[in-house]
Structure 1
């Protein structure tokens, strides 16, 4: 019974792994099918990298669970596709990081764990593919170290770079390896080439690095074969539900729609929109400073300016990304978003001061708002019949006629706390006046 339950929990997990594998292979074919549209081809490449990494990541997760003789994860790991407004940034990140493939390559700890398990031909195949992936990772890390800075001969040019002519640049003291990043950045020399003595090694490292995609698929397939044999008695399940970027296979335009670009030269109406967006960003960036001043927080000016700068940068980034779409309309319609943004900026600019003063008022303003203009309006403590001063955080309200001096607190600049009586005499006066 326990074995049947274990098999039942493994079947959907293995089905999901198979779905990831099919998506990874189909995405690779999709990239080769698209040739003309560069935008669509790069999106397909991003889907391929993400699907391939999901396949490798899922295979590793199930392999670890299998070797530990435990339960598979309920959901196979899959990289999340970012929300639609920033999917172009997601695409750039995936292409830059190859979908996180290099970070997913199994390490030596996983290989040692496999070697400690009972040997089998299928497990040996998994170990072989894992070692091949490690060789690709080694090539990815070491291949940049094969270069060196050098001084080409006056008439050498490409011949020196390929044939070993010219003079190698002197290395930076303390960094004897010519391929060290410090030497590649700061050493002298006007040219960059593969070190002639390491050309064969560089070629092998490059071949290993470029083979990572084929090896990732081979590793996932080897793990799939191992799990099907060990957990499902050789019965290959149907592909399960797919998660991650593989779901967007064949829908590249829906995944990352083409974004409008800024024109090389703005016309007058488009410039109005740009100016309106700039004014709105400026008005929003002033909010922390206005409220900080009203709340008497300018002693923390560095924090206020940091928040203001962050708002300015965020607003500029949003305007940069959304602006081209706003100015696509012809003629005067291209200026409508700018006019609306300018009016909103004016409202924000004019309204932030009164709003800040309302919420962060001084003790005299709070006395008038909370008491003098309310329950004390017809009493000897109305605004035009008292003398007020602040003493050690207490507001003293003395009527010009005879009467008890009210002691109210806290009397702080920029405070949001209501004024309250600080002694019994003040409390009795306010109770008598029904305050």
Structure 2
């Protein structure tokens, strides 16, 4: 008995128990819509982890290899964006449809030595494929049509089918469902029985997913652990959140229907802070001589506005919950910070992206050359072809320094031997 297989099967068992518990939890949540939808999201994610892990171990078993060190488990997003995670899981059914084993896996199982437990796994895999087929084909059972009317009342499902778009003879093709001229949508009368069967297959996917995972678990316990079922192992992923819907996706505070005066102050302050931050790319681009890339600069500013708006939209309701003047405190703080950002971004950008003359004064004229004839205020400077010429008003060698570019962050260096000798004499 391999310890790695025992650990992997124990973790798979834990995922299976969590997937089953999540399915039961959906029925226990009752009429609370928020809690119920969260429980459904946990169920989708847990059963997808179960199927994905079962497939990973099944492939390793059929290849007579070692199990993966950690079973796959979808990551639950950070708390601040878990409502977005929930919406994504519900929209994608947790990724279950993409996890269903394909024909290659079934062929690999058929090529392995036959056994009743393996036959059960194959049967459940084929059932999952039937559900996937129903999921893909059921929308094609519909068609556009022109409903019959009787005294202004539309009769359900009665009418003549709409003509199909040229080149797309199938009435259920997405092109016809979106662009055909009919005003109603119905199941094609001649395919009602097939549509019902496909719908049943599609909706059975959750039950079949659990059955597939259980069949793989039974196979692995018998083949790798000699029938000795281990205790449930470590559980990761969404299965840890079964029964903890309020902790997983807390209720979010909504924006009030009408803002009060103090609440409006906070919203205004946050807006000013977003605008001040959005000006940063333009300020830096101006000082760094990058205005020729104005498209990227405006794109960066737009991205900051977008991100800032999303953050304000998500965090604003919590900031304005306090009563009275306290609701304005975050806005006042944000406004003061906006002033600091607005007033400070120019000097900061000038410090890091200075022109050649300022860089000479900062690096040399007010530094190692401050006691020489090259000190600031005692020289004449000009820039030609990317070289800064520094000529003392008294007698002395003209220094040639580079790179002399606006917005450059590189220090000035001598570009000829004479300049290097002067700087060495002053230990620069």
TM-score normalised by the shorter chain: which range applies?
over 0.9
Q: 1:113 aligns with which of 105, 108, 114?
A: 108
Q: In structure 1, how many angstroms separate the alpha carbons of the residues matched to 2:153 and 2:113?
A: 57
Tell me how far apart the structure 1 counterparts of residues 419 and 94 of structure 2 sit (CA, whole Å).
Answer: 70
Q: Secondary structure at the match of 1:153?
A: strand
- Cα distance in structure 2, aligned partners of 1:299 and 1:43: 49
Alignment of 1:85-104 (within 5 A): 85-104=80-99
Runs of 4+ off more than 4 Å: none
Aligned to 2:135: 140
What per-residue deviation string (whole Å, max 9, x for no partner) do you get for residues 49-79 of structure 1?
1111111111111111111111111111111
Counterpart of 2:307 in structure 1 is 314
Q: How does 1:208-219 map to 2 (within 5 A)?
A: 208-219=201-212
Of 376, 388, 401, the match for 1:395: 388
CA gap 1:148/1:39 in 2 versus in 1, 3 angstroms: same
Map 1:188-267; keep pairs closer than 5 Å: 188-267=181-260
Equivalents in 1 of 2:376, 2:220: separation in Å? 84
Distance 1:78 1:157 in 2: 52
How has the CA–CA distance of structure 1 residues 55 and 407 changed in structure 2, closer, same or farther, with 3 Å as cutoff?
Answer: same
What is the CA-CA distance between 1:275 and the residue it aligns to? 1.2
Equivalent residue number for residue 11 of structure 2: 16
Conserved? CA contact 2:149–2:155, under 8 Å: no
1:29 and 2:39 are equivalent in the alignment: no
Whole-Å Cα distance in 2 between the matches of residues 175 and 266 of structure 1? 53
Give the corresponding residue for 1:54: 49
**Does structure 1 conserve the Cα–Cα contact (< 8 Å) formed by 2:9 and 2:217?**
yes
Shift of 1:158: 5.6
Q: Structure 1's 96 and 353: CA in aligned 2 closer, same or farther, altered over 3 A?
A: same
Deviation digits for residues 382-414 of structure 1, max 9, x if unmatched? 333222111111111112222221111111111
Distance 1:319 1:286 in 2: 17
Report the Cα distance in structure 2 between the residues aligned to 1:23 and 1:385, rounded to whole angstroms: 80
> Shift in Å at residue 380 of structure 1?
2.3
Which residue pairs with 2:372 in the alignment? Answer: 379
**Aligned counterpart, 1:336:** 329
Deviations 1:226-254 (A, max 9, x none): 11111111111111111111111111111
Please name the residue that 2:167 is paired with.
Answer: 174
Contact 2:148/2:155 (8 A) holds in 1: no
SS at match of 1:270: helix
Work out whether 1:44 is the aligned partner of 2:39: yes
Residue of structure 1 equivalent to 2:155? 159
CA distance in 2, matches of 1:384, 1:217: 82
5+ residue gaps, structure 1: none
Does 1:404 pair with 2:370? no
Could you tell me the TM-score, scaled by structure 2's length?
0.97
List runs of 5+ in structure 2 lacking aligned partners: none
Which residue of 132, 144, 166 corresponds with 1:149? 144
Preserved CA contact (<8 Å) 2:100 2:128: yes
Offset at residue 379 of structure 1 (A): 2.7
User: 2:268: which partner in 1?
Assistant: 275
Residue 192 of structure 1: CA displacement? 0.9
| Cα 1:258–1:160 shift into 2, 3 Å | closer
Contact 2:398-2:419 within 8 A present in 1 as well: yes
Could you tell me which residue of structure 2 aligns to residue 63 of structure 1? Answer: 58
Residues 1:23 and 1:321: Cα distance change in structure 2 (over 3 Å): same
Q: How many Å separate the matches in 2 of 1:421 and 1:240?
A: 68
Superposed CA RMSD? 1.4
- The answer on whether the counterparts of 2:148 and 2:154 sit within 8 Å (CA) in structure 1 is no
Equivalent residue for 1:303?
296
Aligned counterpart for 2:353 among listed residues 336, 339, 360: 360
Deviates more, 1:69-78 or 1:373-382: 373-382
**Separation in 2, partners of 1:157, 1:219:** 48
Deviations 1:310-356 (A, max 9, x none): 12211111111111111111111111111111111111111111111
